[in-house]
Structure 1
Amino acid sequence: MKLHYIGIIRNDSKPGVEIVSEKELSAYSRFTRQNYAEFMTLFAKTVAERTRPGQRQDVEEQEHTFHAYGRTEGVCGIIISDHEYPALVAHQLLSKVMDEFLSSHPRSAWATAGDNSVTMPELKEYLTKYQDPHQADSIMKIQRELDETKIVLHKTIESVLQRGEKIDDLVAKSDGLSNQSKMFYPFLVTAASVQMS
């Protein structure tokens, strides 16, 4: 079980803005870390842009699950984990992170902010602490919330894209990816396919 990413994305306008995030990239070689970080940001923004206010959803893509929680304030929390990580714990952590962020950062602090321009040191601590999902302390609270909220499970990133959109097109037109990462994308898809077999 592994957590790879925790982030908060402003999704009230497109393109989404990654206000603050923390990534766990130690599983990747130093040559590919930056590429994986850029793809995490790209796909986190994509899922956040397509998560409605008040909606929770899980999106599975290759070996990752994107857990999303859209808030009415115009932000969306995203956690990227592997498939084995319990969804209930991920959504509990999302609730905690979003509540803390919104209580300590007024809208004026992030409404016009750029990518990663807000600090939230707790994210690094949570990314480390919650690698062990048993650290979740109030699973019953999130269970009640989930009973009241439908989580939509999508099997791939493509299922949350708009009609006619393709992942390859999204990668090609993304300003957030370096040319090196765009060239790396076909290798990433091939490697993930081989790893899944």
Structure 2
Amino acid sequence: CERDIDDVMTRANGVAYALVARETTPLAEHSEVEGNAPEVAKKVLQGIASNNSRQVSRTSYVQGIYLFHVLVSDGISFICMAEEDFGRRVPFVFLEDVRQSFTAKYGTQALHAAAYAFNEEFSRVLNQKMNYYNTNPQADTIGRVRKEISEVKNIMVENIELVLERGEKIDLLVDKTDSLQDETFRFRRQARRIKQEMWWRSMRMTILLIIVVFLGLYFVLALACGPRLKNC
């Protein structure tokens, strides 16, 4: 019977162990504690080795007071161990950060690499990231922001679905659009009427001006030639 991990693990705050593996083949790992975390992690690997999904999956496994958090992406498993009271948000942000760094650095090499092929180099990266996420208060803020962004996306999708499910919402929008179109039509019709009134007013002023000019010319000629203009 195997000993429980609590009996052989030196207590550590935050992420205490991390492993990157392809199916059951370890590629790189780092531990901040002594104990049998690698053995437990390998058992976890055996349980998820059949998962070859191209989609990212996230799972947590309980072992005593510890949680083994697993992120699987494109056949590569990223595992970290932390105490249960450390929560899940930061460990999965840590794993996502590790995944991005590992994928950018090794890409498809990981699909055919031998056991621990990247351990000498990438174990230092694991160590650096573990120290950062265990000691930097902003790490939890980063996780919270990412979680809030995800929740906002869910709310947005839910709201859109509610609008689509409720026909009266769409009808209301259509009615409002029709109302705006009616207002626009009335405005244009009123503008044309005002324009016509201004044109007629201008025309009346022009006709009146012509009449005044003709009358003025007549009076000048009448003074010179008489009322009937016989002397002109």
TM-score relative to the length of structure 2? 0.51
Please give the alpha-carbon distance, in whole angstroms, between the structure 2 residues aligned to 1:115 and 1:91: 24
Contact 2:41 2:79 in 1 (8 A): no
Contact 1:7 1:77 in 2 (8 A): yes
SS in 2 for 1:131: helix
SS in 2 for 1:123: helix
Please give the alpha-carbon distance, in whole angstroms, between the structure 1 residues aligned to 2:22 and 2:152: 26
- Note the 1:27-176 alignment, pairs <5 A: 28=34, 33=35, 36-49=36-49, 53=53, 54-71=56-73, 73-107=74-108, 109-118=109-118, 119-120=121-122, 121-132=124-135, 134-136=137-139, 137-139=141-143, 140-145=145-150
User: What one-letter code is carried by the residue in structure 2 that aligns with 1:20?
Assistant: A
Contact 1:22 1:123 in 2 (8 A): yes
User: What one-letter code is carried by the residue in structure 2 that aligns with 1:141?
Assistant: R
Give the C-alpha shift of residue 40 in structure 1.
Answer: 3.9
Question: Deviations 1:104-132 (Å, cap 9, x if unpaired)?
Answer: 1121x222222221131211111222223
Greater relative contact order: 1 or 2 (C-alpha under 8 angstroms, separation 6 or more)?
A: 1
Q: 1:145 to 1:94 in 2, by over 3 A?
A: farther
- Give unpaired runs (5+ residues) of structure 2: 1-12, 155-232
Q: 2:25 aligns with which of 17, 34, 45?
A: 17
Contact 2:58 2:71 in 1 (8 A): yes
Give the C-alpha shift of residue 59 in structure 1.
Answer: 1.1
Tell me the matched-pair count: 135
**Could you say which residue in structure 2 is the equivalent of 1:168?**
none
**Could you say which residue in structure 1 is the equivalent of 2:15?**
3
SS in 2 for 1:105: helix
Q: Which has the greater radius of gyration?
A: 2
- Give unpaired runs (5+ residues) of structure 1: 150-197
Q: 1:148 to 1:98 in 2, by over 3 A?
A: farther
Please give the alpha-carbon distance, in whole angstroms, between the structure 2 residues aligned to 1:146 and 1:8: 29
Question: Deviations 1:7-61 (Å, cap 9, x if unpaired)?
Answer: 11112xxxx1111111112xx4xxxx4xx15424423423542656321111111
- RMSD of the alignment, in Å? 2.7
SS in 1 for 2:134: coil
User: What one-letter code is carried by the residue in structure 1 that aligns with 2:58?
Assistant: R
TM-score relative to the length of structure 1? 0.59
* Percent of matched pairs sharing the same residue: 13
Greater share of residues in helix = 2
